[in-house]
Amino acid sequence: MELAADSRLSVTTRPIVNPALNGRLGGLSDYPFTRLAALLADVTPRTNTAPLMLSIGEPQHEPPALLAQALAAAPLADWGKYPPTIGTAPFRAAVHGWLRRRYGLPADFVDVDKGILPATGTREALFQVALLATPQQKDGRQPAVLIPNPFYAVYEGAAALAGAEPVFMPATRATGFLPDLDALSPDLLARTALMYLCTPSNPQGAVADLAYLKKAITLARAYGFVLALDECYAEIWDRVPPPGGFEAALALENEKGGQGTANLLVFNSLSKRSSAAGLRSGFIAGDPKLIQAFTRLRSYALAGNALPALAAAAALWGDDAHVEENRRLYRQKIDAAEAALGGRYGFYRPAGGFFLWLEVGDGEAATRRLWGEAGLRVLPGAYFTRSEPDGSNAGQPFIRVALVHDAETVGRACETIARVLE
């Protein structure tokens, strides 16, 4: 049998047919740091001092010695073993113990075996929860995923790639920098599959109080969606410990009975709490039915934390002394920033987290000036914020400044911000 003429073409002479990629990628905003690099590509700092990165929330504190000690103590053979999707019993027990201490939970409120999973940080878990929670249709329509605006870019990417419609909830000064839950229409809630909330919020540092969290959980249960609470800044607070989703769920349990952690997933990590971003260790906890489904999903999509990393994480979740020292250092930075900026650019002490959300008139123009004139790299607020249909962008007047360097450096940087932008 003779080959068809075109099948005898050499590989090098055949026309190139490009792969058909996932078209949903095209609907995403450019990642904030990609946009920042493009914004500053033609700007060379005119300064004799080394550039200072205030754009990324990467903790600069030295991790506690406990981390290195736990890693060193791990058996060498453990590095040669694949970690189980559900983690280890000591890891789950350490997370369970921290949740009880931090939020005053009874021992059986979060199931230590069926209500906790390890996460490789929280970024991948926050992405995967949209794949878990998004059905083909909700209320006979395309599902919606509700996202605070400004937002963490992972939320948007997860919603779009799961086939949902990302719906952005304004979180402006007028709403206390948190979404107005009362503004959500019943029609929208009926097709909602997932709601992301971050408290303390990034970038504004706003904290949802117990009543707010109870309302969010109640809506999730009334309309049958998953509430994903991103609490990765919960241990970095200024004056008062932020309440958590489990506290709110426990309050509802005491008021109404029998609902436990239903519809709720809480995400947290050691990146900020323990200055251990490189460990890539966090957890997902909550509704056992959702955790069971998440375990199944992650058995296909998870690389997992190495057993020595899980042992180190268990040691860190079991220790609170280093966290108090961490908070003290962050308070010093906020003090230094307040001394330099208080009364200008809408400065306020963030209730949680370690970012300043400064109103400077034009965030992109201010970012270019600070880089060009002082070698300070910040992020324009518009890069966290989806524009309205009319083209307006509530984040456009803002910049985000990460207070991750030592207090003296933060103080000098904030003085420079005031000088350059005056």
Which residues fall within 8 angstroms of residue 78, CB to CB, at 6 or more apart?
A: 306, 307, 308, 311
- Residue 6: band (very low, low, confident or very high) from pLDDT cuts 50, 70, 90: low
> Could you give phi then psi for residue 362, rounded to 5 degrees?
-140, 105
Residue 275: band (very low, low, confident or very high) from pLDDT cuts 50, 70, 90: very high
What is the rounded CA–CA span in Å between residue 63 and residue 54?
Answer: 20
**What is the pLDDT averaged over residues 203-219?**
98
Q: Which of 403, 415, 406 is nearest to 203 (CA)?
A: 403
120 Cβ partners below 8 Å, 6+ apart? 280, 281, 282, 302, 303, 304, 305
Percent pLDDT > 70 in the chain is 97
Q: DSSP code of 418?
A: H
* Burial label, 23 (beta-carbon count in 10 A; 0-12, 13-18, 19+): exposed
| CA pair distance 1, 202, nearest whole angstrom | 66
Instruction: Enumerate residues 6+ apart whose C-beta is below 8 A from 255.
Output: none
pLDDT of 417 higher than 70:
yes
> Tell me, what's the pLDDT at 53?
96
Please tell me the predicted confidence (pLDDT) of residue 24: 87
Confidence grade of residue 65 (pLDDT, cut at 50, 70, 90): very high
Task: Please tell me the predicted confidence (pLDDT) of residue 294.
Answer: 96
Name the average pLDDT for the chain. 94
- C-alpha 169 chain-centroid distance: 16
Query: What three-state secondary structure class fits 211?
Result: helix
3-state secondary structure at position 179: coil
| Residue 59 pLDDT grade (very low, low, confident, very high; cuts 50, 70, 90) | very high
CB-based contacts of 376, cutoff 8 Å, min separation 6: 51, 52, 54, 370, 413, 416, 417, 420
Q: Is the pLDDT of residue 9 over 60?
A: no
Q: How far apart are CA 87 and CA 204, in angstroms?
A: 33
Q: What is the share, in percent, of the chain residues with pLDDT greater than 90?
A: 88
Give the list of residues 6+ apart from residue 343 with CB closer than 8 angstroms, or none.
none
- Extract the tokens encoding 290: 């959702």
Higher confidence at residue 212 or residue 18? 212
Residue 38 has pLDDT above 50, yes or no: yes
- The H or E element containing residue 410 is helix 407-421
- Render pLDDT for 162-195 as a digit per residue (tens, 0 to 9): 999 999 999 999 999 999 999 999 999 999 999 9
The pLDDT, as a whole number, for residue 303 is: 79
How far apart, in whole angstroms, are the C-alpha atoms of residue 1 and residue 125? Answer: 54
Predicted confidence (pLDDT) per residue in 357-390, tens digit:
999 999 999 999 999 999 999 999 999 999 989 9
Stretch 120-135: mean pLDDT, rounded?
95
pLDDT of residue 302: 82
- Residue-wise pLDDT for 383-411, tens only, equals 999 998 999 999 999 999 999 999 999 99
Nearest one of 421, 397, 401 to 411, comparing CA atoms: 401
Q: What is the pLDDT of residue 60?
A: 92
Say how far apart CA 286 and CA 170 lie, in whole Å.
27
Q: 229 forms bridges with which residues in the sheet?
A: 197, 266
> Are the CB atoms for 194 and 183 separated by under 8 Å?
no
Using the predicted structure, report yes or no on whether residue 64 has a pLDDT greater than 80.
Answer: yes
* Whether residue 1 has pLDDT greater than 50: no
343 contacts 17 by C-beta, under 8 angstroms: no
Instruction: Measure the CA–CA gap between 358 and 370, rounded to whole angstroms.
Output: 13
Q: What is the pLDDT of residue 14?
A: 77
Give the tens place of pLDDT for each residue, 67-112.
999 999 999 999 999 999 999 999 999 999 999 999 999 999 999 9
Q: What is the pLDDT of residue 71?
A: 96
Q: How many CB atoms lie within 10 A of CB 156?
A: 22
Which residues are paired to 117 by β-bridges? 284
